[in-house]
Structure 1
Amino acid sequence: MQYDTIVLGAGIVGVSAALHLQSRGHQVVLLDREQPGEGTSFGNAGLIERSSVIPYAFPREFAALLRYSLNRETAVRLNPGYLPEIAPWLFQYWKQSAPSPLDASTLAMLPLIERCTDEHDALVQQAGLSELIRCEGWIEIFKNERAFNRARSEAQSLVSYGINYDVLDQPALQQRDPHLSNKVIGGIHWLDPKTVTNPGALVKGYAALFRQRGGIILQGDARSVAQGESGWQVDTLEGPVISQNVVVALGPKSADIFKLFGYAIPLAVKRGYHRHFRMQEGKQLRHSVCDSESGFVLAPMKQGIRLSTGIEFDRPGAPKNDSQLRRCEAIARSLLPLGEPIEDEPWMGLRPCLPDMRPVIGAAPRHKGLWFNFGHAHHGLTLGPVTGRLLAEIMTGETPFTDPEPYSATRFSKANAASSQTEATLSS
């Protein structure tokens, strides 16, 4: 079975890349161990986040760092035993969150953020999935005046990025979502984002469009990938598949492949949880709401109200620890009349993150036909279609809609070389 391209990974990033390559004439195989949309793409807050033009940076204030390290904030949970292992990566993340590198990452990510809703709109229309999309934005809620005032100031600074929002005092917020508690004193309604009422179903719908157009979806182990004289080969349940190109779009599992070929890319994993809840009789939540102070999102989904947590730093394969989710649930119940949980156990997933808050998109520098598209952090759902387009444009020789250099895998080797040169200069 010979094809032009094998895409490893059937989450939102891999499925989107497969669709864009297919639309440019490539015969594509989409390969995963599971069915499409059942990994990281299944469990997120369902936000197509046009408003997040500033990447999620590491806190710089000592007091905040101390609270997070002692697990006094619900937005982050850290397993102390994991700290020696993750500390070097956290230090790089902290350095990249300084004002100058953060500005650089903001400018690098802006072309992707600006196009995210347009690229989803096109696929949603082609796949006939409009019933899964809501065009009402989401609301950031606040429980104290100081945080609310700071957020209003920060929102004003985003106007130059073309971001639209409404500032809501308590009466205005109650009009838009009447069943929020009066503990919420106000909010910012971000108007440009769209929300997805079933992210897993959206990915499955995109995958169905890919298959309808002649694409092949197979199950297999991506770790069997090998480069030979005739191209790239991967073993599947239906036998080996050969192609001239292979795309690594495995999200948190991408390291299994790039390390296999000798690439040192600082990909780390943030864990996250969600659980669905019923609303109390006669109550509803009209919009997705984010309690940014407490670090969770409440989103109306097909399955119920999805409570999605912030960040957990622990080994990817460690057992679930639902303490963060339980703490968030207690706060959420004080803000919204939640009923009983729907699932017996919470869902846990992994977010693939890089310290400079940008994905890797483009060619592997030392292996012809090997391509990367991973590391989307908190914005996999948001950026899947737009990064799929960028990768397809690079692979097929089109003029990319934006400069792909900021997402190149070589940026890490360049940074290491620059750091080594600086150390040598200081030593001399």
Structure 2
Amino acid sequence: MTKDAIVLGAGIVGVSTAIHLQRRGRQVVLVDRKEPGRETSFGNAGLIQREGVVPYGFPQQLGLLLRYALNNRVDAHYHLRALPSQLAFLARYWWNSNTKRHQMISRAYAPLIEHSISEHHDLIEAAHAEDLIRKDGWLELYRSNEKRDAEFAEAERLNREFGISYEALSSAEIATAEPHLRGNFSGALRWRDPWSVLDPHGLISAYRRYFESIGGRVTTGDAVSLGMSGSAWRMVTAEGSIEAEDVVVALGPWADLVTKRFGYAFPLGVKRGYHMHYATEGNAVLNNWMADAESGYLLAPMSRGIRLTTGAEFARRDAPKTPVQLARAEALARAAFPLGERLDPEPWMGARPCTPDMMPIIGKAPRHNGLWFAFGHAHHGLTLGPVTGRVLAELITGEKPLIDISAYSPNRFAP
């Protein structure tokens, strides 16, 4: 089989890239080892985070670092055995999170986030997936006055510098918005711009069907079979050998399985995360996507039930599940909202691909023609999938990208 392009990885980034290439007249095959959207993209908070212009940084305060070292929190957990292999990544992550560099990174990151809603809107309409989307923002709740006041001030800065829309809520307004919520919350932010997704896997499935409807092909295969055949790229799939002029690596946390084989040593780390769905007790209703900011968990009223998501687990990518954060989060969430029985047979776990400067890797491989990279989106894979797919497809086909993507270039990590 001969195609114009192979896209490796059928998560939100890969599916979106495949769509945009196919739209531009390329014949594209999308390859994954599983059904599209079954890996990292399957389990997330279901938010298209237009407000997320500031990527998640590494804590800088010594006191807070010492509290994290106790390893008993909901928002972060680590495997002691995994730390030696991750120290170099964590040290660079910590350094990039200092105030000055974090602000510079946020300004470089903002153009991607700025187009997150508009690019999803394009694909949502094309895929007839409007029934999976809500457009009423989400709530971030604070327990202490100190945290509330600091976050209200930060929201005002984001509004002033990046045009992020928000509403500050009092305790009484929280009670009106969420009458079944329990606990003492001093205030909340309603981020107005983001959209939420009732079924993230359902959305990716809709995008996949749209891709096929415009002539794209989906198959299974092993990315490590990728190699060069003359000036073309070749790999083995369930449908036989495929050759193409261009290949896009959109494998998320598994990108190194391909990149290392061609001599690229990107400092890619992982933050693992867990989720579980719950019924509700009695007639309780959760009206909003809701993060308990100081406790470190999020509740989302999705199609399957109330999804509880955790923070970050620093562990080896393929280590067995250790859902201790989920157990801690569940206890806190039950105290705040009347969750009922668990609806999933076991906790879901996924791995977020992260770079130490908190920005994705998007662009051409420095030393290979026809090899393109799109991974490292950390907490914002769902948010940034469509805009990443568009700008990379524009670059591949010789168009001027929608935004300047030089800040995300693979060259920043090239030896």
TM over 0.5: yes
In the alignment, which residue of structure 2 is the partner of 1:421? none
Q: Residues of 1 paired with 2:338 and 2:201: CA distance?
A: 26
What amino acid maps onto 1:313 in structure 2?
F
The whole-number CA distance in structure 1 between the counterparts of 2:130 and 2:182 is: 31
Conservation of the 8 A alpha-carbon contact between 1:46 and 1:199? yes
* 1:366-405 correspondence runs (5 A): 366-405=367-406
Q: Deviations over 1:15-68 (max 9, x none)?
A: 000001111111000000101111100000000000111110000000111111
**Whole-Å separation in 2 of the counterparts to 1:238 and 1:412:** 35
Does the aligned pair in 1 maintain the 2:277–2:344 contact within 8 Å?
Answer: yes
Quote the offset at 1:100 in angstroms: 2.2
Q: CA deviation at 1:318?
A: 1.3
Residues 142-221 of structure 1: pairs in structure 2 closer than 5 A: 142-160=142-160, 161-221=162-222
> Aligned residue for 1:23?
23
Which stretch shifts more, 176-185 or 283-292? 176-185
Partner of 2:115: helix, strand, or coil?
helix
The letter of the residue matching 1:114 is: E
Question: For 2:350, what is the secondary structure of its paired residue?
Answer: strand
Structure 2 partner of 1:294: 295
Distance in 2, Cα, partners of 1:205 & 1:361:
24
1:327 and 2:328 are equivalent in the alignment: yes
Q: Is the 8 A contact 1:170 1:182 kept in 2?
A: no
Contact 1:362 1:409 in 2 (8 A): yes
Q: SS of 1:232's equivalent?
A: strand
- Counterpart-to-counterpart distance in 2, 1:322 and 1:355: 25
Q: Moved runs in structure 1, 4+ residues, more than 4 A?
A: none
CA drift at 1:148: 1.1
| Residue number in structure 1 paired with 2:257 | 256
TM-superposition CA deviations, 1:330-349 (whole Å, max 9, x none): 01111111111101210000
Q: Deviations over 1:373-408 (max 9, x none)?
A: 000000000000001011011111111121121011
Corresponding residue number in structure 1 for 2:137 = 137
Q: TM-score, normalised by structure 1?
A: 0.95
Kept after mapping to 2: 8 A contact 1:181/1:336: yes
Does the 8 Å CA contact 2:183/2:335 hold for their aligned counterparts?
A: no
State the secondary structure of the residue aligned to 1:398: coil
Q: CA deviation at 1:74?
A: 1.4
2:412 & 2:151 partners in 1: Cα distance? 33
1:230 positional shift: 4.7
1:337 is matched with which residue?
A: 338
Name the structure 1 match of 2:118: 118
Task: Encode CA deviations 1:237-292: one digit per residue, 9 max, x unaligned.
Answer: 11000000000000011010000100011011111000001111111101000112
Tell me if the contact between 1:296 and 1:310 (Cα under 8 Å) persists in the aligned partners: yes
Q: What CA RMSD, in Å, does the superposition of the two structures yield over aligned residues?
A: 0.9
CA distance in 2, matches of 1:79, 1:257: 26
CA distance in structure 2 between the partners assigned to 1:232 and 1:28 by the alignment: 13
* Pairing of 1:216-295 with structure 2 (within 5 A): 216-295=217-296
Superposed displacement of residue 365, structure 1:
0.9
Question: Quick check: 1:68 aligned with 2:68?
Answer: yes
Which whole-Å CA distance do the structure 1 matches of 2:373 and 2:358 have between them? 16
Aligned length: 414
Deviates more, 1:189-198 or 1:176-185: 176-185
2-side partners of 1:321 and 1:156: how far apart? 38
In 1, Cα distance between equivalents of 2:145 and 2:336: 16
